[in-house]
Chains A and B, each alone.
Chain A
């Protein structure tokens, strides 16, 4: 297992929901589970990743940057439990989680 956290400067859109959190996906082979929580991070977005596959932090960062560019979120904490999902699956799940908050 590898664990890491990364923070990104967020965009203009804050979560609109009163829900405390949203969960999408499942921890199954080639898949992942993402919990998204509205959270005051001073405009930042935080990703806490636990993954079965080590040494891919750079790829994760590219997927996160692309997600932020696409959706312009701010003040969200994403907690990710990954079981070897490929980048497109991660992108899809992040979008699904974010759509649950807005």
Chain B
């Protein structure tokens, strides 16, 4: 078998013969071009995540001739487009390695069940990127950019996200890098990726799809979420005073962000906690930023509409010399992994605190949560939150250690009749139907420090036995079957010891739980807080 550099040289020569010299390939001949650089059995890395999607190249890949090319191994962060699965239906691809499959999760589960798709593995983001440098080395990477020039220099801008990781693995792994760019420019606005690492660029007929995933409309925050937010802030934020935080994408953490300038101020958090963040530019962070809570934000990705606002805060956000945001998912994931605290949500939790977003009908994957929401076993001695949590978790052990706070914040029901707390995760069924060796768990129970529900806060760090941990989980599981099966005497004991805390134990009156506490109650309020700089996508505008 010829070595990778020889194969690469053959492919480049084949392209030069048909298309002539130069890196620019016309969009209308993309399929013909792809068939020259892709061979059967190649590992194709496609760039697409929960925000940006290389939709043009995905469409072109799916149009290739399966008689010429088949047995492809697809690797990508997010199975987000129908075309990703069309590659399998059309007989081009065989195996997929991925992290997240949100929008295509149901169809993926179906196609795995009927044998059309074989899953290599479901990964965490960082785990997947890491494997691109070893056993998943790509033959061809199909990437996304805002601007490209004829030399292949790229401006990937606010939503740079994983491009640097994918380019690095491919360009230095003997592979070929192809980029769809929104615009071919004479000179790119800023060089995010040097042209030497890029083999070909194609000007896409339309700009790539960008999902405003991190925009949460404050109008949709109900009082149960505000109650949960207030309990979390009093029982956890005000107790441990975490300085470096990562928040998940959901509404529960959006509620906390909007309560920082009001309830957070009352609790004395300003300047003492929540100063540094690993976070996309959440619009719901605008009031906290404007109120002086935030010193820095390390961005994993960008967010549609936040460009001008972000550019106005050069000390807080990572900006290039051109004034626009630079994000990086690999580094952002690391910034979040080594934070003092992660707060996120999930679809299912079992009585030992294990959680997963994978259900039998939806192979959703996990995205960023497993690395953000994992005990980091850091070595820092300077973080008050880390030391305090460690003292609780490792009390009585011979080697003192710190501890990261990993908080799962969930409503006890996902909707009418769909409990979040279950005796057994559906991940076990998914394991069987997809042929995995292990159930696809998002966050393991022993990584979790606290669970917050409408019923209260459970501090798992203080549990000394598995039986205590189980009752602490059941004791906040509300009226779900898991919650109703609690041992009332044990739960009362856990409450006496402060392991379970209810609103009344925290001195929170239910009549104080009100939307009036939110610093912004609508998207329009956020625009006002931003001084008109936040420009929300049209689907969020109702004025």
Q: A84 at the A/B interface (Cβ < 8 Å)?
A: yes
Q: Assuming the A-B contacts A96-B511, A96-B513, are A62 and B484 also in contact, with contact meaning beta carbons closer than 8 angstroms in the complex?
A: yes
Residue of B478, B503, B510, B511 near A87 (CB, 8 A) is B478
A88 lies within 8 A of B413 (CB): yes
Bound Cα distance from A93 to B513, whole angstroms: 10
Q: A86 at the A/B interface (Cβ < 8 Å)?
A: yes
Q: B227 at the A/B interface (Cβ < 8 Å)?
A: yes
Q: A100 at the A/B interface (Cβ < 8 Å)?
A: yes
State the main secondary structure of chain B at its contact with A. Answer: loop
Bound Cα distance from A91 to B228, whole angstroms: 13
Residue of A59, A84, A86, A99 near B510 (CB, 8 A) is A99
Nearest residue, chain A, Cβ from B503 = A95
B224 lies within 8 A of A89 (CB): yes
A92 lies within 8 A of B223 (CB): yes
Residues of A within 8 A of B227 (CB): 92
A88 lies within 8 A of B511 (CB): no
Residue of B411, B415, B416, B510 near A95 (CB, 8 A) is B510
Q: A19 at the A/B interface (Cβ < 8 Å)?
A: no
Q: Assuming the A-B contacts A87-B413, A91-B454, are A70 and B224 also in contact, with contact meaning beta carbons closer than 8 angstroms in the complex?
A: no
Nearest residue, chain B, Cβ from A89 = B224
B504 lies within 8 A of A70 (CB): yes
Q: Which of A68-85 contact B (CB under 8 A)?
A: 70, 84
Residues of A within 8 A of B224 (CB): 88-89, 92
Residue of A31, A84, A92 near B454 (CB, 8 A) is A92
Bound Cα distance from A8 to B502, whole angstroms: 23
Residues of B within 8 A of A30 (CB): 222
Nearest residue, chain B, Cβ from A84 = B416
Q: Could you give, for residues 445-489 of chain B, a 1 whenever the CB lies within 8 Å of some chain A CB and a 0 otherwise?
A: 000000001110000000000000000000000110000100000
Bound Cα distance from A88 to B477, whole angstroms: 10
Bound Cα distance from A31 to B225, whole angstroms: 13
Bound Cα distance from A62 to B513, whole angstroms: 23
Q: B412 at the A/B interface (Cβ < 8 Å)?
A: yes
Q: B539 at the A/B interface (Cβ < 8 Å)?
A: no
A87 lies within 8 A of B513 (CB): no
Residues of A within 8 A of B455 (CB): 88, 91
Bound Cα distance from A84 to B510, whole angstroms: 20
Q: Which of B189-232 contact A (CB under 8 A)?
A: 222-224, 227
Bound Cα distance from A100 to B412, whole angstroms: 26
Q: B68 at the A/B interface (Cβ < 8 Å)?
A: no
Residues of A within 8 A of B509 (CB): 99
Residue of B413, B454, B484, B511 near A100 (CB, 8 A) is B511
A87 lies within 8 A of B504 (CB): no
Pick from B224, B227, B454 the residue with the most CB of A within 10 Å.
B224
A96 lies within 8 A of B478 (CB): no
Q: Assuming the A-B contacts A88-B411, A92-B454, are A99 and B479 also in contact, with contact meaning beta carbons closer than 8 angstroms in the complex?
A: no
Q: Which of A46-72 contact B (CB under 8 A)?
A: 53, 59, 62-63, 66, 70
Pick from B413, B415, B511 the residue with the most CB of A within 10 Å.
B511
Cβ of A56 to closest chain B Cβ, rounded Å: 9
Residue of A53, A88, A96 near B416 (CB, 8 A) is A53
A87 lies within 8 A of B479 (CB): yes
Bound Cα distance from A89 to B412, whole angstroms: 11
Residues of B within 8 A of A99 (CB): 509-511
Residues of B within 8 A of A (CB): 222-224, 227, 411-413, 415-416, 453-455, 478-479, 484, 502-504, 509-511, 513
Q: Besides the contacts A96-B510, A96-B511, what 10 more A-B pairs have beta carbons closer than 8 Å? A: A70-B504, A86-B412, A86-B413, A86-B416, A87-B479, A88-B412, A88-B455, A91-B455, A92-B227, A99-B510
10 residue pairs, one from A and one from B, having the closest CB atoms: A88-B454, A95-B510, A87-B479, A99-B511, A96-B510, A86-B413, A96-B511, A88-B224, A89-B224, A62-B479
